[in-house]
Chain A
Amino acid sequence: MSDKEFIKIKNVSKKFDDVVAVDDVNIDIAKGEFFSLLGPSGCGKTTLLRILAGFEYPSFGKVLIDNIDVTDITPNLRPTNMVFQNYAIFPHINVKRNIEFGLRKEKLSREELNQRVNDALKMVQLEGYEDRFSNQLSGGQRQRIALARALVKQPKVLLLDEPLGALDKKLREEMQLELRKLQRSVGITFIFVTHDQEEAMTMSDRVAVMNKGQILQISPPKDLYNNPKNLFVGDFIGQINFLESEVKSVDQQNVKVSIKNLGDYTLTYIDNINQGESIVCAIRPETIQITKNNDQIKSDISVKGKISNTSFYGNMTYVYVEIEGIKKPLMISTSDPLEGLTYNSDCFININLKDIRLIKKN
């Protein structure tokens, strides 16, 4: 075993009656990695996490943690601990007894126990909260206690089920940074489930995008954004424009593509494409430049359009441009809202070929 395969999810499927929640998933997760499972609700990410924790038994496949097959091991005997979506702090005992709940089997002395609880509270910056009860804590504090309660067991893997979902935006962003910092300092492998792409992108070493029970792409956040392998991933992560195209010819390095209403262009080869295939050209809104005239900057593609809408976001503005023959207006983001580029005015959009990603249709 190498550290790269610290957790091995092998051909795992889970069916509930006739519904396939998890469909033949294969993932290797490295030791100490911050790994996110990202997808819309109902995509099977929580089911997969619960299979890792042992709360669900896979219909097919195996789970190995640190080279041990844990598929048949019950949750209480697995080297995993979980932070639940609603935190699941025991309401009938105080914070201190919540945190030491899982340490009973370790037969520690009173001093050792106190030390461990103190260290855990210090780690989540809630020293002095020992005697509080769950309903005397805020959402953010509960979340930290849940984290401390799980980490005090020193698990090999920490499983987090949308732990930031219930927090307000500011606190959520703060906790994202803190969680990442904490993960680096304890060195425990984190598996983090979320439907929030921003959350997954900002914290993770790698992200697995899931939809309808299947893993669509596993990549570091940057790759996921810059090289989506699939329409769903491209669309789910950030904003993107899709342009209908057709493959004209293919050789070793290049693909000649005809983009509908924009002309023929030569792009870099991607695997498994054939002549005559209909394909999608994906362009991120920030790579498109918008100008008043077509001679202001040099670009590979320059085309005339009309502004159909704008929306202002403070640090940038989204401009929607209608182009003749293209159904959906192109979305362009610019940090420099040019004067005169207002609703219904004419403009030119400029695209460079290096910013176009070819994505196969499924």
Chain B
Amino acid sequence: MYKKNNILFLYSILYFAFLYIPVMLLPVFSFNDAIHMVFPLKGFTLKWYDQMIHASRLHQALFNSIKVGVIASIFSTLIALLAAKAFTKYKLRLRQLSYGAILLPFVIPEIIIAVSLIVLWTGMGLQLGLIPVTLSHILFCTPFCMLVLISRMEGFDKNLEEAAMDLGENAWGTFWRVTFPLVLPAIVASLLLSFVISFDEFILAFFLTSNDQTLPLYMWGQLRFPKKLPHVLALGAVIIVATSIIVMLSYWLRNLGNPSGKKNNIGGI
């Protein structure tokens, strides 16, 4: 047994408080019957949620964000999947260099990418809007997907594919019966991660869209009007709950891919 260490215990409490108290203020004030975010609380209300449900521009922004997120996550996962397969299957020339090149958008400040994309897009005489936002999100998400997929596929045992072929499966059957189910958890993780990244991305969307807002842009826009603040809080609370559900879902899916009953592996999505 560990000896109980009071200082470490206190540190853990502070650590979680630091992480979660600011976030938890959102749902608390979203039920508060007042416009301003100040203590003491005035009383319980659901009217901000009611307001949120009836804000049609919010719905439009939410729909835009989902549309961009879904398309961006599918395409960035697909691109990253092919690249990860190539990196892990073949001994490529200039492997290190091209690996670095693929991961570069990861470290370039987002604002630089945003500026260069807006110059490029308008320079080509194209309309700003959700299309360039989606494209920029694909670009931005792909390195994240690469990291998730490569780490899974590097541990992939090539003998398993050979064993499937040896047992009578052709390339297609081998892919569907062995490769795909084994890589599936990583694909799901990649999809979820890139969706979440796209969903809360602000800078690229801010630069590259025109009238169509994504959800972060909508929320940012509402902050200028004090009266609109509470229903943004309500929206924030909903997003926190939804994100938690997605994360739990992804853990559940991971365990589906690992049916041995060993559920003790901790790790990011």
- Interface residues of chain A, those whose CB is within 8 Å of chain B, are 53, 55, 74-77, 80-82, 84-86, 88, 90-92, 101-102, 104-105, 133, 135-136, 149-150, 153
Complex CA–CA separation, A74 to B169 (angstroms) = 10
User: Given A75-B166, A135-B262, 15 more contacts at CB 8 Å?
Assistant: A55-B165, A75-B165, A84-B159, A85-B159, A90-B160, A90-B164, A91-B182, A92-B178, A92-B257, A92-B259, A101-B164, A101-B167, A136-B260, A150-B167, A153-B167
Minimum Cβ distance to chain A for residue B256 (Å): 10
Residues of B164-185 whose CB lies within 8 A of A: 164-170, 177-178, 181-182
Max chain A CB contacts within 10 Å: which of B162, B163, B167, B182? B167
CB-CB under 8 A from B182, the residues of chain A are: 91-92
- The answer to whether A105 and B163 touch across the interface, beta carbons within 8 angstroms, is no
Q: Would B260 and A86 count as touching, CB distance under 8 A?
A: no
Chain A residues near B160: list those with CB within 8 A: 88, 90-91
Q: Which of A55, A102, A133, A135 contacts B167 (CB 8 A)?
A: A102
Q: Nearest residue in B to A85 (C-beta to C-beta)?
A: B159
Write the B182-201 contact mask toward A (1 if CB under 8 angstroms, else 0): 10000000000000000000
Query: Is the interface on chain B under 10, 10 to 19, 20 to 34, or 35 or more residues?
Result: 20 to 34
Contact residues in B for A55 (Cβ distance below 8 Å): 162, 165-166
Determine the residue in chain A with the shortest Cβ distance to B181.
Answer: A92
Beta-carbon nearest neighbor of B158 in chain A: A88
B177 touches A101 (CB 8 A): yes
How far is it, in angstroms, between the C-alpha of A99 and the C-alpha of B177 when the chains are bound?
14
12 pairs of residues in contact across A and B, judged by CB atoms under 8 Å: A76-B169, A76-B170, A81-B167, A84-B159, A86-B157, A88-B157, A90-B160, A91-B160, A92-B182, A101-B164, A133-B260, A153-B167
Which of A105, A135, A136 lies in contact with B168, CB distance below 8 A? A105
Residue of B nearest to A152 (CB): B167
* Minimum Cβ distance to chain B for residue A56 (Å): 11
Find out whether the CB atom of A84 lies under 8 angstroms from the CB atom of B167. no
Complex Cα distance A17/B140, Å?
39
Let me know if A74 and B260 touch, CB within 8 A: no
- From B162, B163, B178, B181, name the one whose CB has the most chain A CB atoms within 10 angstroms: B163
Contact of A75 with B162 in the complex, beta carbons under 8 Å: yes
Assembled-state Cα–Cα distance A53/B166 (Å):
7
CB-contact partner of A90 in B163, B165, B166, B260, under 8 A: B163
Interface mask (B143-166 → A, CB under 8 Å = 1, otherwise 0): 000000000000001011011111
Instruction: Output the least CB separation between B211 and chain A (Å).
Output: 47
Chain A positions within 8 Å of B170 at CB level? 74, 76
Q: Are the C-beta atoms of B262 and A90 separated by less than 8 Å?
A: no
- A324 vs chain B, min Cβ distance (A): 55
Cα distance A153–B260 when bound, in Å?
26
Q: Taking each of B168, B257, B260, B262, which has the highest tally of chain A beta carbons within 10 Å of its own beta carbon?
A: B168
Partner of A88, one of B159, B169, B181: B159
How far apart sit A136 and B259, CA to CA, in the bound complex (Å)? 11
